[in-house]
Amino acid sequence: MIITIDGPAASGKSTVARSLAKKLNFYYLNTGLLYRAVAYLLINQCSYEQNALRNPDEADLNSLIDKTRLIYEYDQDKKEQVIFDGQDITSFLRTSFIDEAASIVSTNKIVRDLLLNVQRVAAQKFDLVVDGRDTGSVVFPEADIKIYLSASEKVRAERWREYQEKNGNIFSAEEARNIIDDRDKRDKEREVAPLVIPDDAIFVENSKLDIPETVEKVMEFMNKSRVI
């Protein structure tokens, strides 16, 4: 079974997907972490400046996104991890700088095509909960359940600002709103796999819902649909 959760930045996709996977005992695939990993590796392994991330060299991408080098792992205790050349790089992927860099890298078609293969391999092995920007529309259009999760821009900006603050990155409310607005525009207007509400997706608006309430809402729909 495949459950996709798409939506804009700071809509709570990853936390909801992780919680849902644990509740169902499914494998959780965080596609955003893969894009973060590619951005991090281009910068730190290949010495890319941020403005060069839109059009990375194909040879660099083929070298980095190699199934023997770049490995995604998940279990409920360790959560999700990205391993590169045997080293766990997950802790380096949560900064606001890599957040922005990943958003830029994700607009590149070659990157998306290469990571598409990585994502689909996971679905051949596990029952899957996967979150991202195009998981129900492009990666797994045949998914059993498709969720589109969103909240108001104001709420999402505040969530993003609070998350960054917990990680030592301080932004004003206005700065957070501007960053979320830029991310939304980039995600929706990119030529390759733009953010859309997938066909047959259930729209969940969680501006006034916390994570447990959002997960419960998704579970209620799944129960009514008799898919679990």
Give the percent of the chain with pLDDT over 70. 99
pLDDT tens digits, residue range 19-55? 999 999 999 999 999 999 999 999 999 999 999 999 9
198: DSSP letter: P
Which pLDDT belongs to residue 77?
A: 85
Taking the C-alpha atoms of residue 115 and residue 132, their distance in angstroms, rounded to an integer, is 12
Residue 226 has pLDDT above 90, yes or no: no
Per CATH, the number for 1-26+127-228 is 3.40.50.300
* Structure tokens that stand for 20 in this block: 């849902």
The HSE-up count of residue 84 (CA atoms within 13 Å, CB side) is: 19
* CA dihedral of 183, 189, 195, 199, whole degrees rounded to 10: 160
Helix ranges, 79-207 (H): 96-105, 109-125, 153-166, 173-189
pLDDT at 225 over 80: no
In contact, 173 and 157? CB cutoff 8 Å: yes
For the record, the structure tokens of 208 come out as 């006034």
Reported pTM: 0.93
What does the longest C-alpha to C-alpha distance in the chain come to?
A: 51
Both structure tokens of 112: 């998306």
Give the pLDDT confidence score for residue 228 in this predicted structure: 57
Span 199-221, average pLDDT:
94
Angstrom CA distances, 112 to 42, 84, 86, 157, 193, stand at 15, 18, 23, 26, 8
Task: Give the model confidence (pLDDT) of 77-128 as tens digits.
Answer: 878 999 999 999 999 998 989 999 999 999 999 999 999 989 998 889 999 9
Those residues with Cβ within 8 angstroms of residue 94's Cβ, 6 or more apart along the chain or in another chain: 36, 167
Strands 128-132 and 145-150: unpaired
Same fold, 1-26+127-228 and 29-126: yes
| Residue ranges covered by each domain of the chain | 1-26+127-228, 29-126
Superfamily of domain 29-126: P-loop containing nucleotide triphosphate hydrolases (3.40.50.300)
Q: Cα separation of 72 and 31, whole Å? A: 10
Torsion of CA 62, 65, 69, 74, to 10 degrees: -170
